[in-house]
Amino acid sequence: MASLYKISIDKLNGIGKKRAELFNKLGIYSIGDLLSFYPKGYEDWSSTVKIESLQDGMNVCIKAVLGAQIKDGVLPGGRIISKGMVYDDTGTLQLVFFNNRYISAMIHAGEEYYFYGRVTGGIGGWQMISPTFSPVGEGSKIHPIYKQTAGLNSKIIANAVKQALSYLPEKVNDPLPESVRSTFALCDLKYAIHNIHFPNNSESLASARKRLVTEELLVLNLGMRSLKEHSRGESGVDITKSYFDEFKELLPFTMTNAQSRVVGECISDLTKGTKPMNRLVQGDVGSGKTAVAAAVCHTVIRNGFQAAFMAPTDILARQHYKTFTELFKGTDIKTALLTGSMKESEKKAVRAELENGDISFVVGTHALITEKTNFYNLGIAVTDEQHRFGVSQRAKLLSKGSNPHLLVMSATPIPRTLGLVIFGDLDISIIDELPPSRKPVKTYAISTLKRKNCYGFIKNEIAQGRQAYIVCPLVEEGELENVASAEEYAAELMLNDFSDISVGIVHGHMKPAEKDEVMKKFADNEISLLVATTVIEVGVDVPNATVMTIENAERFGLSQLHQLRGRVGRGKYDSYCFLISNNRNPETMQRLKVMCSTNDGFKIADEDLKLRGPGDFFGERQHGLPQMAIADFADTKSLELSQKMADFIIFNYKNLYHDDLRLLRAEVDRLFSSNGHNCLN
């Protein structure tokens, strides 16, 4: 199969230079590429519909006889139109083709065919425009549909694939060794390739899919594992001693067992020797990730190195800066803030002290990775909320030191199987426990009719000294026109329902200093009700806030709702979340139901994956992963199977350099090198 990637597509009959260029547009250059260009769907002709049962707009397959020979006509403008009537024992239907001068020679009167297409009409008679067809009794009833491009339709591609299949040798060398195929009940490669394009029946299609999907995920899996082993050289940061006990004395609370365990795992990485730490810490909202990061940075700093903590938003960087400054107040650790919104002179001063080593702990945003920022001896880079940073940004921060340690913090609980793939190049620690006395946030889905009751509830909480958030309707960061609506919404609340309460507003288009001031007032309880856009989604920590109200809750994904809800329930008080929506769409209702029934971020992430697919989990990070030809990251079953296969291979063959794995290794290289990685060499 590998050699077929060397045979150009224009070797196939009917593919000249022009058509080859169209194939190139789809990323197909060689016969091998074409055979790996799997159908995006199938037309299933195995269940036909009688003409009397047709309904307008249906995509169906009918089995019918052509009554009389197709007749060609010419439309005004010169287009050819060809028409013919077909019948079954329940009715008749008209076929219409445009600009297909050969059609009358392809279908013959009196013969029976399958016709597949969309039917329109009804009383005036049924019509099917440009159906696909094949004579009854010939070939498979499952037909491939390929992604097409202008000038290159699915049928042309299918014909090219048919030819390409004849290039497959008698015996195709299979990247999956026989031992793997038999253990995991997978068909061989040749069978899989034939049947993914032109399945004999639905069983053979399922078997081909299973084989190709799991192989692709396996290749990805093995590649990520190799990346982990090979990606980073020796660290220039020599950490010899843990200062965790000393750190615990600085904390105003006792760490949970999970927090202590995770800090232990990190410090053991740091002190292990020459390999830099490469670790992801995952924890549900409010599980106390900040303290874990602080503990790890503290040990690095006490060993004489600098630490950098990169947050995704200005608000968060400032909040963390405040937390760390307070935490290290009694020590000689000098902490600084570096964000793009600071005055030039302030930034310059911070940069100078980072370069001469006076500052040992810096918290910031993207300003940390600009060229102007240099470190004296960066020992650890921490990135908060990894899914918002690209892999390249992480690499940029790391390049500021001599192979420093890396700690990635993620509040988005990614389903385990998916996490293993996405973060396959990182070791993973999970904080699977919430601080004591944390109670689940009681969550209610309500319609707008109940909005006033919700406002009443908020007033009552505020009267008891608590605070509340309302996440505005229709507002998403980056949509300028909606800022006005957020402001209007807040103004209306101030004038009417909350006229005697101090209301603040925060959105992504405010100047950082203004945002900062509002957040500070909210943190100090000078503002009781904060009307906000999703800028508060990640990380904002005001333990006195007990009510979160989310307008237009249907607009948010489950994980995002969970993050937003996580802004309450962070202190000792009972907390509540109201999800306002009038949307009765079954998927929305299912999503809101999940939110009301659990506070467990991992369960919610699993549901989200099922309902919306994996898009949300990747964010920018998706760019760092190879493009999949057939696998779908939402397919947890296949992810799990490929994980087991990778374990099996490593267990039985030790590493990928075994001769039986030569072809598999080549696949890993191909997948990763086409995406800018080079993991094996």
Q: Report the alpha-carbon angle 468-471-476, nearest 5.
A: 155
Q: Return phi, psi of residue 513, to 5°.
A: -65, -40
User: Can you tell me the distance from the alpha carbon of 282 to that of 411, in angstroms, rounded to the nearest whole number?
Assistant: 6
Region label for 450, one of left (φ > 0), alpha (ψ between -120 and 50) or beta (otherwise):
alpha
- Of 262 and 594, the one with the shorter C-beta distance to ligand ATP is 262
Q: Chain centroid to CA 445: how far?
A: 26
Nearer to ligand ATP, 224 or 547 (CB): 547
Nearer to ligand ATP, 407 or 646 (CB): 407
Q: Which stretch binds ligand ATP (CB under 6 A): 234-242, 282-290, 583-591, 598-606?
A: 282-290
DSSP for 574-602? Answer: --EEEEE-----HHHHHHHHHHHH---HH
Residue 399 near residue 322, CB atoms below 8 Å: no
The size of the chain, in residues, is: 681
Size of the site for ligand ATP (CB under 6 A): 19
- Between residue 566 and residue 625, which ones bind ligand ATP under the rule CB under 6 A? 566, 570
Phi, psi of 589, deg, nearest 5: -65, -35
Options 154-162, 175-183, 253-261, 505-513: segment touching ligand ATP (CB under 6 A): 253-261
Q: Which stretch binds ligand ATP (CB under 6 A): 78-86, 93-101, 288-296, 593-601?
A: 288-296
The yes or no reply on residue 320 touching ligand ATP (CB under 6 A) is no
Q: Least distance to ligand ATP from the beta carbon of 570, Å?
A: 5
Q: Which of 290, 383, 443, 643 binds ligand ATP (CB under 6 A)?
A: 290
61 versus 291: smaller Cβ distance to ligand ATP: 291
- Pick the piece of the chain touching ligand ATP (CB under 6 A) from 251-259, 261-269, 444-452, 497-505: 251-259
302 vs 438, beta carbon nearer ligand ATP: 438
Q: Establish if 10 lies at the interface with ligand ATP (CB under 6 A).
A: no
Give yes or no for residue 256 binding ligand ATP (CB under 6 A). yes
Stretch that binds ligand ATP, among 155-163, 234-242, 278-286, 448-456 (CB under 6 A): 278-286
Smaller CB separation from ligand ATP, 15 or 471: 471
Task: Tell the smallest beta-carbon distance from residue 158 to ligand ATP (Å).
Answer: 49
Amino acid sitting at position 1: M
Token digits of residue 263: 């800090």
Q: Of 439, 458, 438, whose CA–CA distance to 551 is shortest?
A: 458
Closest approach, Cβ 251 to ligand ATP, in A, equals 8
What CA–CA distance (Å, rounded) separates 338 from 623?
A: 27
Decide: is 560 part of the binding site for ligand ATP (CB under 6 A). Answer: no
> Interaction with ligand ATP in 372-411: which residues (CB under 6 A)?
411
Q: What is the 3-state secondary structure (H, E, C) of 119-184?
A: EEEECCEEEEECCEEEECCCCCCEEEECCCECCECHHHHHHHHHHHHCCCCCCCCCCCCHHHHHHC
- The interface with ligand ATP within residues 429-458 (CB under 6 A) comprises 435
Half-sphere exposure of 558 (CA within 13 A, CB side): 32
Residue 569, both tokens: 């329930």
| Residue 325 or 652 with smaller CB distance to ligand ATP | 325
Write the DSSP symbol of residue 543: T
Q: Tell me the two tokens of residue 373.
A: 């920022």
Other beta carbons within 10 Å of 541:
17
Binding mask 503-542 for ligand ATP (x = CB under 6 A): ------------------------------------x-x-
Q: How far is the CB of 515 from ligand ATP (least distance, A)?
A: 17
The distance of closest approach from Cβ of residue 516 to ligand ATP in the complex, given in angstroms and rounded to an integer, is 18
Rounded Cα distance, 133 and 44, in Å: 12
Q: Which is nearer to ligand ATP, 259 or 482 (CB)?
A: 259
Residue type, 452: K
Asked if 37 contacts 9 with a C-beta cutoff of 8 angstroms, the reply is: no
CA angle 29/31/34 to nearest 5° reads 75
CA dihedral 390, 392, 394, 397 (to 10 degrees): -140
Establish if 291 lies at the interface with ligand ATP (CB under 6 A): yes
Closer to ligand ATP by Cβ: residue 144 or 571: 571
Which residues 404-423 are close enough to bind ligand ATP by CB under 6 A?
411
289 binding ligand ATP? (CB under 6 A): yes
Rounded to a whole number of angstroms, the minimum distance from the CB of residue 434 to ligand ATP is 9
β 112-122/125-129 pair status? antiparallel
Instruction: State the minimum distance, in angstroms, from the CB of residue 601 to ligand ATP.
Output: 9
Applying CB under 6 A, among 91, 236, 390, 543 the residue interacting with ligand ATP is 543
Considering only 287, 303, 429, 528, the residue that binds ligand ATP (CB under 6 A) is 287
- Name the residue nearer to ligand ATP (CB basis): 223 or 566: 566
Q: Which residue is nearest to ligand ATP (CB)?
A: 288
Q: Which is nearer to ligand ATP, 219 or 441 (CB)?
A: 441
Does position 288 bind ligand ATP by CB under 6 A? yes
Residue 328: count other Cβ atoms within 10 Å of its Cβ. Answer: 20
Token pair recorded at residue 94: 């008209």
* Nearer to ligand ATP (CB atom), residue 284 or residue 497: 284
Crossing angle of the two packed helices 601-612 and 586-597, in degrees rounded to 10: 170
Residues 66-125 that bind ligand ATP (CB under 6 A): none
Residue 51, phi then psi, degrees to nearest 5: -60, -35
Rounded to 10°, the helix 601-612/558-565 angle is 150
Quote the least distance from Cβ 542 to ligand ATP, whole Å: 9
Of 121 and 435, the one with the shorter C-beta distance to ligand ATP is 435
Residues 211-240 that bind ligand ATP (CB under 6 A): none
Report which secondary-structure segment, H or E, holds 278: strand 278-283
Q: How far apart are CA 563 and CA 534, in angstroms?
A: 10
Does 264 bind ligand ATP (CB under 6 A)? Our answer is: no
| Pick 388 or 670: Cβ nearer ligand ATP | 388
When the beta carbons of 131 and 286 are compared against ligand ATP, the nearer one is: 286
Select 69 or 257, whichever has its Cβ closest to ligand ATP.
Answer: 257
Q: How far is the CB of 546 from ligand ATP (least distance, A)?
A: 14
Separation in Å, CA 662 to CA 71, 262, 619: 58, 38, 34
Interface stretch with ligand ATP, choices 90-98, 213-221, 285-293, 617-625 (CB under 6 A): 285-293
C-alpha to C-alpha distance for 59 and 652, rounded to whole angstroms = 49
Task: Tell me the C-alpha distance between 68 and 474, whole Å.
Answer: 58
Is 255 near ligand ATP (CB under 6 A)?
Answer: yes
| Helix, strand or coil, per DSSP, at residue 667 | helix
- The pair of three-digit structure tokens given for residue 281, joined into one six-digit string: 């810490």
Residues of this chain that bind ligand ATP (CB under 6 A):
253, 255-256, 259, 283, 285-291, 411, 435, 539, 541, 543, 566, 570
